[in-house]
Amino acid sequence: MLCISSGEVDTYSGISPVGISLFLNTLASYRNQTMIVVTGAAGFIGSCLVRKLNDAGYNDIAAVDDFSKHNKNLNLNGKMLSALIHRDDFFKWLKENQKMVQFVFHLGARTDTTESDTLIFEKLNLSYSKEIWKACVEYGLPLVYASSAATYGSGENGYDDGHSHIPSLKPLNPYGVSKQEFDKWVLVQERTPYFWAGLKFFNVYGPSESHKGRMASVVYHAYKQIMAKAELDLFRSHNPAYRDGEQKRDFIYVKDVLDVCVFLMLKRKGSGIYNLGTGRARTFLDLAKITFASMGLDPKINFIDTPADIRDKYQYFTEARMDKLRGSGYDNPFFSLEEGIRDYVQNYLLLGRWM
């Protein structure tokens, strides 16, 4: 392995991403080994997956992203990679190097649920994902891609990941629509990768998400607020069916997401779309109190109005049905909310650590 500074990184596109200091396999090394592709590799879940793969002994990883944000690129510090590829150059690179690739994780996407420009989602979440799928079909590559629980909308049609149920879902925002449209497109394809899985991520939280800003998890924002003023503002309920703080989500720790990704990579059976939550909804009040406790503080919680731009698109309840994934053979226990927040706060946030 060769340690290369940010100014020395030689990527396929010829760029030198700002802020990356990583271990890069020598060209001779990765040409003689098979690689795993991770799109969105500098992002939250993508960078955590790279770490998980490294820890499992997979060091020949092609990282795909746009590498345009310094604070996001920091997520790749210290990771073992074989190639850095700008997303615009990826399909050309894959055509030239597909014989070395053994698996594709497509986690890259525009994830801002408040974004209203549908053209951005059409380009990055739908069209790009279709090209990934077609390339995996052409080159015989297995694929795991990121879908989202945002496809379920307000949950009026339930949280069932059965394929016959998916076309009836009604997302509340353009992000959710883009994920839903890709899921629907996938389900009518006659040509598919020999193994594929779409993962409907529920509310994922964990290390390496600070670059997401407003879109970072409630756990992250709760920690930052408590550190700043020793109290926390939660959105009050604008739905008479839910008391303030009693809104519920299925919060899943990123380490559980990573375990499922690796399980699917190794198993490669049972293609389909799967929910990925814990199967147990918890309240925002639970989350707040656990975060205070993990920081060794007594809770002080206030309620504020939900911002107007998200109020009519707000999910008051999400809870994944997990029968399908469990039926596929995945039997690892999930982190409880208490366990996950404690690990995140005490082993990462308080120590200023990335994953």
Tens digits of residue pLDDT in 142-167: 999 999 999 999 999 999 999 999 99
The predicted model gives 285-301 an average pLDDT of 98
CATH of 2-205+251-280+316-334, one of 3.30.360.10, 3.90.180.10, 3.30.450.20, 3.40.50.720: 3.40.50.720
C-alpha to C-alpha distance for 108 and 304, rounded to whole angstroms: 33
Q: What is the pLDDT of residues 195-206, one digit of tens each?
A: 999 999 999 999
Closest CA to 106 of 160, 174, 179, 170: 179
pTM assigned to the model: 0.92
C-alpha to C-alpha distance for 113 and 244, rounded to whole angstroms: 22
- Residue 226's alpha-carbon distances to 203, 291, 300, in angstroms, are 20, 9, 9
Output Rg (C-alpha) for the chain, integer angstroms: 20
Active site residue 253: no
Buried b or exposed e, range 69-97, using 16+ CB within 10 angstroms: beebbbbbeebbbbbbbbbeebeebbeeb
Show the CA angle centred on residue 262, arms to residues 99 and 47, nearest 5°: 85
Q: How many CB atoms lie within 10 A of CB 304?
A: 10
Contact between 102 and 35 under an 8 Å Cβ cutoff? The reply is yes
- State the pLDDT confidence band at 109, using cuts at 50, 70 and 90: confident
C-alpha to C-alpha distance for 81 and 17, rounded to whole angstroms: 14
Token reading at 16: 């030198």
Rounded to an integer, what is the distance from CA 269 to the centroid of its chain?
A: 22
Query: Which residue pairs from 125-128 have beta carbons closer than 8 angstroms and sit at least 24 positions apart in sequence?
Result: 125/175, 125/178, 125/179, 125/182, 126/178, 126/181, 126/182, 126/185, 128/87
Better-predicted residue by pLDDT, 26 or 59: 59
What residue ranges do the domains of the chain occupy? 2-205+251-280+316-334
Catalytic member of 139, 212, 242, 314: 212
Q: Which residues contact 335 (CB under 8 A, 6 or more apart)?
A: 252, 253, 255, 256, 278, 343
Q: Which residues contact 89 (CB under 8 A, 6 or more apart)?
A: 12, 13
Most distant CA atoms of the chain, gap in Å = 63
Active site residue 175: yes
Q: Give pLDDT, residue 121.
A: 82
Please say if the pLDDT value at position 7 is more than 80: no
Catalytic member of 30, 145, 175, 223: 175
